[in-house]
Amino acid sequence: MKRLLPLAFALLKFGSCFLLINPAYDFQRDEYLYLNQGLHLAWGYLEVPPLIAAQGWLSMALGGGFLWVKFWPFLWGAATVYLVMRLAQRLGGGWFATALAGTCYLGTAFARLNLLFQPNSFEVFGFVFCLYWLVRYCREERPRYLYLLGLGLGMGLLNKYTTLFFIAALGGGLLLTSRRPLLLSRHFWGAMAVAGLVWLPNALWQLRHGIPFLHHMQLLHDSQLVHVEVADFWKAQLRMCVAAVWVWVPGLLALLLSAAFRPYRAVGWVAVLGVGLLAALHGKDYYALGYYPVLFAFGAVWWEARLARLGQRHPHWPVALQAALVAMPLVFVLLLLPVMFPVYSPAAMAALRPKYAPLGVYRWEDGRDHALPQDYADMLGWRELADKTRAAYRSLPDSVRSHTLIHCANYGQASAINYYNRGRGLPPANSLNGSFIYWYSPLDGCRAILIVDDEFHPELAPHFAAYRRFGGITNPYAREQGTSIIIGLQPDSTVLALVRREQRAALAAWEGPEH
């Protein structure tokens, strides 16, 4: 019976997500990439490990519709809230602590995070999964819980490399507490062996390709992380979980200071060290989200104990307070609904900018505010681009179409064109951005190139028999607004040689010249 309340919350989490995305929006840029990776299964990619691609492969095998693409983030979100609530119960919490831990998850940044088909949803689930089994081990000291922890770490490494920072925080948390003897335990190292075996295929892929993860981190640093200020990072930590700050802060303090939670003190240090490490490395603020859900569980149990003491003196107060505290995170959802879920049209969201811009939600990775939140702007214009690319292709003579190359400036363009034009007779869209360098189409016999870019590149015109702009993205709210489709007929050898050089240069940048 105890599982019914967590299960009800999990089903609510899963089902409600389908109602919270306005049909005016397409998928987000990265979602198209992961679906495209699913069409090229491998043990690794330049951007991410392979787990998200495996999910993308299954989604595409089932038709690739909205339901099957969004199934995964909705599933991992539902599974996470279930684990958080079960953790509260394992710590001795009753219905109040269980429900409070659940509403804290539903009312914070995870609401938005779990809308997108990206590795972030599984990352949070993976961290919670690992810490759940660590708590179980600290309570019962059954070795199998350590091996489940190791399995979680291995799956986390197959999902996102930020799990390496989590492992470092885990080691530090054990070292700083009475659990340090665990680091010498054969079962602990057996669990680490399980993690290593699960991750091994991807680790070997990284070694075989020159460890492109390092180049990816450098690109992130130069293009995005350089804009992350430490002060902004810490402000975001407060903002992302502000609806539950009165729960997770006491939960963290109780973990670090309370005698009642002393057996689990390592969990508190994992959170402190994990978030601190990300701050020191100028990580993106949402990288830290996976450390908070377990704090909801501990904080909820702490609150339940405090209210129980209050009830001894004032028997009628705790019931009203419990109801108010459980509802409070959901009130925040209602107050911040437009910036947590894309329920409003783009025009309506742009009109709300003066109201919500002070929260920082309209600030993009370039450090500047824009008309829409970046995720929303990245969910616009893709279907328009794919349709106009198909129209450009259909405008070519029949004798040229079978010898046409589609070349895109970035992975978002190429992935979206491939997604919407699947089964419509177009050749695959290509790019020299990210993992697309491995899938580039042969250039032999090329008679036409459709160039998808936000620049016209007039310097290329002399190398084609004809060179003209066909159309482009006109949606004023799209991040890709202004991206054009250019038709170039009869490219000369100079253009084709340039593409080959750029492909070799891209491979060398990612894998090193020796590869």
d(CA 78, CA 41): 27
Residue 383 and residue 473 in contact, taking contact as beta carbons nearer than 8 Å: no
The strand pairing partners of 431, in sequence order, are 408
Residue 106 and residue 333 in contact, taking contact as beta carbons nearer than 8 Å: yes
Q: Which pLDDT does position 514 carry in this prediction?
A: 62
| 385-399: burial string, b at 16+ Cβ within 10 Å, e else | bbebbbebbeebeee
Q: Is 0.85 topped by the overall pTM?
A: yes
Look-up of token digits 């340090």: 180
Tens-level pLDDT at each residue, the chain (515 residues): 578 999 999 999 999 888 899 999 999 999 999 999 999 999 999 999 999 999 999 999 999 999 999 999 999 999 999 999 999 999 999 999 999 999 999 999 998 899 999 999 999 999 999 999 999 999 999 999 999 999 999 999 999 999 999 999 999 999 999 999 999 999 999 999 999 999 999 999 999 988 888 877 776 656 655 556 788 888 889 889 999 999 999 999 999 999 999 999 999 999 999 999 999 888 888 899 999 999 999 999 999 999 988 766 766 667 888 899 999 999 988 988 998 899 999 999 999 999 998 888 898 878 788 999 999 999 999 999 999 999 999 999 999 999 999 999 999 999 999 999 998 989 999 999 989 999 999 988 899 999 999 999 999 999 999 999 999 999 999 999 999 999 999 999 999 999 999 999 988 888 776 65
Residues 250-290: tens digit of each pLDDT = 999 999 999 999 999 999 999 999 999 999 888 888 899 99
- Alpha carbons within 13 angstroms on the beta-carbon side of residue 25 total 29
Q: Which pLDDT does position 222 carry in this prediction?
A: 60
d(CA 405, CA 436): 14
- What is each CA distance from 353 to 20, 209, 342, in whole angstroms? 19, 44, 14
Edge-first strand order for the sheet with 429-431 is 429-431, 404-408, 448-453, 484-489, 466-472
Tell me the Cα Rg of the chain: 25
Count the residues in the chain: 515
Q: Answer left, alpha or beta for residue 63, where phi above 0 means left and psi between -120 and 50 means alpha.
A: left
Q: Which pLDDT does position 231 carry in this prediction?
A: 83
Residues 340-392: tens digit of each pLDDT = 899 999 999 999 999 998 888 898 878 788 999 999 999 999 999 999 999 99
- What is each CA distance from 114 to 70, 78, 291, in whole angstroms? 9, 9, 15
At residue 354, what is the residue type? P
**Residue closest to 31 by CA, chosen among 343, 378, 344:** 378
Q: What are the φ and ψ backbone dihedral angles of 501, each rounded to 5 degrees?
A: -65, -40
Q: Which pLDDT does position 321 carry in this prediction?
A: 87
Q: Is 452 helix (H, G, I), strand (E, B) or coil?
A: strand
d(CA 449, CA 65): 29
Q: Which pLDDT does position 227 carry in this prediction?
A: 56
